[in-house]
């Protein structure tokens, strides 16, 4: 997951189409966030499908979304220096 994309896997087969959108409700820390995105790709892995969702909308601003992701990464990788968080988004 990064500021622009979300990957997820499921047994459900969704169409890869710019007109097909999915919504997700995530909880990062204490905040509940709703993301809407376009299914950009689908890869079959065993009995699951791995999807890439291009984020097209959010219940919070892009700035707040990036801040929430930064805080989540720092909480889950406490030994990671802050300047390396941006490296994780790019890779």
- Could you tell me where the beta strands, DSSP code E, fall in the chain? 5-10, 21-28, 31-45, 48-58
At 10 the pLDDT is 95
Convert the pLDDT of each residue in 25-53 to its tens digit. 988 777 888 999 999 999 999 999 999 99
Compute the distance between CA of residue 62 and CA of residue 91 in angstroms, rounded to an integer: 19
Residue 85 clears pLDDT 60, i.e. is over it: no
The kind and range of the H/E element at 60 are: none
Please compute the mean of the pLDDT values over residues 80-90 and round it to a whole number.
Answer: 57
At 89 the pLDDT is 59
């Amino acid at each position: 997951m990064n500021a622009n994309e979300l990957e997820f896997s499921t047994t459900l087969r969704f169409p890869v189409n710019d007109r097909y959108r999915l919504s997700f409700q995530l909880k990062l820390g204490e905040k509940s966030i709703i993301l809407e995105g376009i299914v950009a790709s689908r890869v079959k892995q065993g009995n699951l499908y791995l999807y890439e969702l291009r984020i097209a909308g959010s219940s919070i601003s892009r700035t707040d979304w990036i801040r929430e992701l930064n805080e989540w990464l720092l909480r889950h990788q406490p030994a990671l220096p802050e300047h390396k968080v941006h490296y994780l988004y790019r890779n």
